[in-house]
């Protein structure tokens, strides 16, 4: 029999084939592996009541439950009083205090979970207090962490009561069941309580007699004994989940924080860009224009001196002014292009092709982008290529460069490679904010990445990943 894979290739190792079919044969029943697993599971179930865990969980349940109930009582009482008095404004202060307490109670619960269960929940955001009494009041009333703590206690306390009822009834009934052969010799059933009472006693369990009945009660005790710790575990697991979601860091706040960071980067990057433009205008165009005005001023004064006009000197000044004006125009165009490259109006491919063609080092462009990125991404991609090619021309001593722009899912990947001397580092290539570090900032502002690989001797490869939309 020959086995042919989906690709139509014959398998290279015949042994592999036989192993596979053997495996298939046993997997119809119960494999040895599964038997081992079942054994492990059984052992675990049998051992569980004799390990520390169910008892620390029970202890946690009691301590945190009592503390939780007291906390909820205090919070509820103060909140109710606060709401009652809300019209008198004192109510608001009481509510604020109540919320501040809720935050503290929440911290206690986190500590308990940490100490008893080894469950480490991150601290939520610290309370940010705005200045002044009203600032404090407002911050306290709008403290999301505190309100979430209130919600935690509102859910936790009923859950604890239910858990305690179920757990204690199981333990009680387990013990009474297990001890039934010693204490109850057919004189009616043992005192059932809680869940088991509800289920069994009403079904005439208490009226049972005889050996079979007694064995049944005993077996029930055995089952309860081993089940109790797992039931407890279930309740604790849910509580842990509650602690994590309601007493841990607020996912909304975390998102807000990450957005704030991104915004800061963006604001910084655009401030740096503005500063660069200002510097270019200040050092370039403005100085050009001042010099131009000065020359024209000199020429004008020479012409005003009607008795003796040094026409050659005037011509010279006007010539210089004319040249300066043309230079100023060129500089202004370059600066404007730095703000928004007009080449991008015809699309990224055309813009990159222009850059590649203009580059001092012969540059090849591979462009494979099906979706058009948003304008912000196109601009960043354009500046990256412009800056990187400028670096290649200035520092790399390369004879060739390639630029590739390809789509990878929802990402745009730019790769600029040169065959130069390598050894470039983020700190050395590109000077200040206008250099490569500036690019890195720009790329990061849209959650992108910039990676530089440049071993001494080359080649240098810079990879930039940008989301297609930002």
> Interface with other proteins by CB under 8 A: which range of 21-29, 114-122, 199-207, 288-296?
288-296
- Residue 293 Cβ, how far from other proteins at the closest point, in Å? 4
Output 144 or 300, the one with its CB closest to other proteins: 300
Judged by DSSP in three states, 363 sits in strand
- Residue 295 Cβ, how far from other proteins at the closest point, in Å? 7
Output 297 or 342, the one with its CB closest to other proteins: 297
Q: Can you tell me which of 155, 298, 332, 415 binds other proteins, judged by CB under 8 A?
A: 298
Bridge partners (DSSP) listed for residue 460: 418
Interface size with other proteins, residues (CB under 8 A): 17
According to DSSP, the β-strands at 411-418 and 449-453 are unpaired
- Torsions phi, psi for 308 (to 5 deg): -140, 90
Vertex 144: Cα angle to 141 and 146 (nearest 5): 70
326 forms part of the interface with other proteins (CB under 8 A): no
Q: Can you tell me which of 47, 257, 279, 333 binds other proteins, judged by CB under 8 A?
A: 279
- Torsions phi, psi for 372 (to 5 deg): -90, 125
Is 165 in contact with 194 (CB distance < 8 Å)? yes
297 forms part of the interface with other proteins (CB under 8 A): yes
90 forms part of the interface with other proteins (CB under 8 A): no
Bridge partners (DSSP) listed for residue 452: 462
Q: Can you tell me which of 287, 318, 406, 415 binds other proteins, judged by CB under 8 A?
A: 287
> Interface with other proteins by CB under 8 A: which range of 88-96, 194-202, 252-260, 280-288?
280-288
Judged by DSSP in three states, 169 sits in helix
280 forms part of the interface with other proteins (CB under 8 A): no
What distances in angstroms separate CA 75 from CA 160, 217, 329, 361, 436, one per listed residue? Answer: 17, 44, 71, 72, 55
197 forms part of the interface with other proteins (CB under 8 A): no
Q: Omega into 363 within 30° of 0, i.e. cis?
A: no
Q: Can you tell me which of 17, 44, 209, 282 binds other proteins, judged by CB under 8 A?
A: 282
Distance CA 269, CA 383 (A): 13
Is 405 in contact with 381 (CB distance < 8 Å)? yes
The interface mask with other proteins, positions 157-176, x = CB under 8 A, is --------------------
Please state, as a whole number, how many other Cβ atoms lie within 10 Å of the Cβ of residue 183: 10
350 forms part of the interface with other proteins (CB under 8 A): no
Q: Can you tell me which of 324, 373, 420, 448 binds other proteins, judged by CB under 8 A?
A: 324
The interface mask with other proteins, positions 223-262, x = CB under 8 A, is ----------------------------------------
340 forms part of the interface with other proteins (CB under 8 A): no
Output 123 or 310, the one with its CB closest to other proteins: 310
Is 99 in contact with 83 (CB distance < 8 Å)? no
Output 149 or 288, the one with its CB closest to other proteins: 288
CA dihedral for 6, 8, 9, 10, sign (positive or negative) = positive
Distance CA 228, CA 210 (A): 27
The residue ranges that bind other proteins (CB under 8 A) are 279, 282-283, 286-288, 290-291, 293-298, 300-301, 324
């Amino acid at each position: 029999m020959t086995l042919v894979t989906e690709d139509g290739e014959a398998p290279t190792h015949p042994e592999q084939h036989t192993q596979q079919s053997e495996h298939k044969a046993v997997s119809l029943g119960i494999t040895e592996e599964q038997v081992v697993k079942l054994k492990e599971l059984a052992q675990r179930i049998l051992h569980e009541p004799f390990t520390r865990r169910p008892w620390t969980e029970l202890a946690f349940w009691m301590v945190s439950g009592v503390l939780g109930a007291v906390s909820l009582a205090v919070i509820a009482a103060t909140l109710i009083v606060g709401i009652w008095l809300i019209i008198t404004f004192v109510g608001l202060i009481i509510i604020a205090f109540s919320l501040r307490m809720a935050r503290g109670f929440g911290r206690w619960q986190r500590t308990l979970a940490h100490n008893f269960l080894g469950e480490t929940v991150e601290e939520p955001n610290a309370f940010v207090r705005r200045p002044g009494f009203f600032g404090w009041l407002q911050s306290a009333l709008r403290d999301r962490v505190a309100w979430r703590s209130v919600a935690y206690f509102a859910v936790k306390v009923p859950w604890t009561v239910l858990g305690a009822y179920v757990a204690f009834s199981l333990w009680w009934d387990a013990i009474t069941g297990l001890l039934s052969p010693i204490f109850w010799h057919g004189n009616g059933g043992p005192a059932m309580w809680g869940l088991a009472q509800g289920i069994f006693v009403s079904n005439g369990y208490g009226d049972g007699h005889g050996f079979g009945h007694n064995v049944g009660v005993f077996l029930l005790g055995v089952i309860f004994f081993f089940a109790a710790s797992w039931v407890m575990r279930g309740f604790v697991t849910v509580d842990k989940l509650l602690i994590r979601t309601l007493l841990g860091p607020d996912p909304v706040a975390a998102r807000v924080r990450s957005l704030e960071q991104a915004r800061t980067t963006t604001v910084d990057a655009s401030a740096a860009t503005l500063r660069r433009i200002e510097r270019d205008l200040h050092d370039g165009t403005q100085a050009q224009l001042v010099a131009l005005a000065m020359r024209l001023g000199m020429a004008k004064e020479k012409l005003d001196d009607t008795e003796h006009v040094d026409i050659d000197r005037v011509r010279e000044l006007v010539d210089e002014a004319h040249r300066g004006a043309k230079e100023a125009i060129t500089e202004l165009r370059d600066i404007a292009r730095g703000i928004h490259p007009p080449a991008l109006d015809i699309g990224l491919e055309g813009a990159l092709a222009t850059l590649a063609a203009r580059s001092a080092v012969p540059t090849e462009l591979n462009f494979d982008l099906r979706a058009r990125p948003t304008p912000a991404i196109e601009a960043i991609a354009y500046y990256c290529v412009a800056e990187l090619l400028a670096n290649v021309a200035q520092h790399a001593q390369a004879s060739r460069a390639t630029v590739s722009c390809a789509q990878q899912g929802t990402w745009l990947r730019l790769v600029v490679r040169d065959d130069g001397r390598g050894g470039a580092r983020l700190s050395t290539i590109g000077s200040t904010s206008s250099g490569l570090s500036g690019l890195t900032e720009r790329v990061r502002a849209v959650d992108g990445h910039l990676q530089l690989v440049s071993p001494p001797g080359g080649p240098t490869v810079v990879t930039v990943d940008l989301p297609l939309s930002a």
